[in-house]
Chains A and B, each alone.
Chain A
């Protein structure tokens, strides 16, 4: 508790609030500038496909580096050492799946959502519904993690542990994100993400240089200091400090690693960003520049994590409100006092806001475009009406995230996000890859894979120690956990691939004509959507 007092006493919320307010005002101003350019679906959902590869690369960076990357990974490395490093590596290497197999083909084949790509070859209505359900669930899970991050930040900021403040902050974050999305659409959201990416990388870079400077720019000396600060001693520099306890925890580590590397290319908010550029070539350039910036950031996070272990120490971190999620802000306080803490907390808030806005616009596009416009209204809907539904959906999703965020607290954010990755890798990645590459893929295969992947991944999480039966569970007092792994990826991802295959081979219905069109369009870009489409309905929906 002394940390709260220490931070709280020297902390001046006025500076923190002022820095945060500046970001909010600037970002709202940016967002309102684009308000009037949101008349068509292409405008609202994908910014008229007018961003350049470099701009979209920065926006992808801002979309992807969530509270999980900044607060969660730094905390995991500070407490568990090397085992936390796996998150950075998995989150980064995962981009190669997106680069080599998904980004360009998906850009050419689709128009706004993941459902577009699946609907291309398969029966529209059932697969669009499935894709939308999966998109909504993955986005909500991801949103929840970000909200938890916002909650723990505010406690640190004000040096209080009060639930009221935490809930109030989550409410403010939720409302801001709704405004960004319904006013700014994808253009506004993208610019918020670009600004945030710059702030986050600059902030993390500054702190990393500062920390290394304290150890004469010797990584080795800093790592040495980290081992002195940790109760685990030199074990934190070696793998398995956290996951080495039993065979089950070792398998859990493998399961996590699979979910991390296969999750990114199935994340709906990442996929949607590929449609904001004019061509597949620009989509490729967005991914390559995102990989550069994200890789750089994860190098910083390694320094920040071990730096926090060295300068703040795990005991202090775990005693702080928000527990391990507060490692990065505490490190900032240790380095630069109130001012740097204020800046870093404001950067973390900006991080959260940009990510939740990206998630919300994806989820609302998926509902309005896939379910409402194409399934309920069967395509007979005006742009104006569809966008109205998209905005209402954004408000509903915002409210759900606010309630969910208030309920889930004190879980490591990176861990929560890893669960969203497991769900995305199980429910989305198999159908995306099959639909792009496999001639005999059918509607039944897609439905089995999406619903099977969702049920397996979420079901196994419900019956895992994450939810019940352990001290750190969401419901520690009851025990209905029979699935031993915290991350379901090892089981749910291969099974979802298997279900997609099984559903397809038991159904004769693959359409060779549509596969020909899909192949030619996705690889060569024939007939792909171009920038600033005025006609709202996709060509594929007409055929």
Chain B
């Protein structure tokens, strides 16, 4: 690739970065991924901190020998599964089609 081409390509990326389509894709991605990360980390550390600071409460039996702590732990499995499914759906509906449009646009500009 010549220097001129490389410069043009770099410029094309900057133009794309500022295009409304790309800004839309980026904000749709970030609007989901960032808050969700905060949510699952908070939920996970809630479990950890309850284990450390409220072990007696976690030991409270709920159903036979199954206590709050074990249920809380199993709920981490459930939440991880739900977040995964929701994200995969969100991404294939909201993100993939938009990314595809941007790829097509970019290739068109290049050729």
Contacts and interface: CB of A to CB of B under 8 A. Distances in A.
Interface in B57-111: 58-59, 63-67, 69-70, 73-74, 76-77, 80-81, 83-85, 87-88, 91-92, 96, 98-99, 102-103, 106
Contacts of A221: 64-65
B55 A516 contact: no
Contact of B16 (A85, A95, A520): A520
B87 A100 contact: yes
A20 B48 CA distance: 39
Contact of A239 (B44, B66, B69, B106): B69
A239 B48 CA distance: 9
B62 to A, nearest CB: 10
Given A220-B64, A239-B58, A525 B69 contact: no
Contacts of A525: 99, 103
Contact of A86 (B16, B40, B51, B59): B51
A96 B32 CA distance: 13
Given A218-B64, A224-B64, A89 B52 contact: no
A250 B81 contact: no
A288 interface: yes
A219 B29 CA distance: 40
A281 interface: yes
Main SS at interface, chain A: helix
Contacts, number: 170
Contacts of B48: 86, 253-254, 257
B14 A512 contact: yes
Interface residues of B, number: 57
Q: Is the interface on chain A under 10, 10 to 19, 20 to 34, or 35 or more residues?
A: 35 or more
Given A238-B67, A257-B48, A524-B22, A100 B77 contact: no
A89 B22 contact: no
A477 to B, nearest CB: 32
A238 B47 contact: no
Contact of B99 (A218, A288, A524): A524
Interface in A33-51: none
Given A92-B76, A221-B64, A285-B88, A250 B37 contact: no
Nearest to B32: A100
A521 B25 CA distance: 12
A100 B67 contact: no
Interface in A289-328: 291-292, 295, 298-299, 302
Interface string B10-30: 110110110000100110010
A281 B93 CA distance: 12
A284 interface: yes
Given A281-B96, A284-B91, A516-B14, A524 B52 contact: no
A231 interface: no
Contacts of B99: 280, 523-525
Contacts of B88: 284-285, 288
B69 A227 contact: no
5 closest Cβ contacts across the A-B interface?
Answer: A220-B64, A238-B59, A239-B51, A223-B65, A524-B102
16 contacts: A89-B47, A95-B80, A97-B37, A99-B87, A218-B64, A223-B70, A234-B59, A237-B69, A261-B41, A284-B88, A520-B13, A520-B22, A524-B25, A524-B103, A524-B106, A542-B6
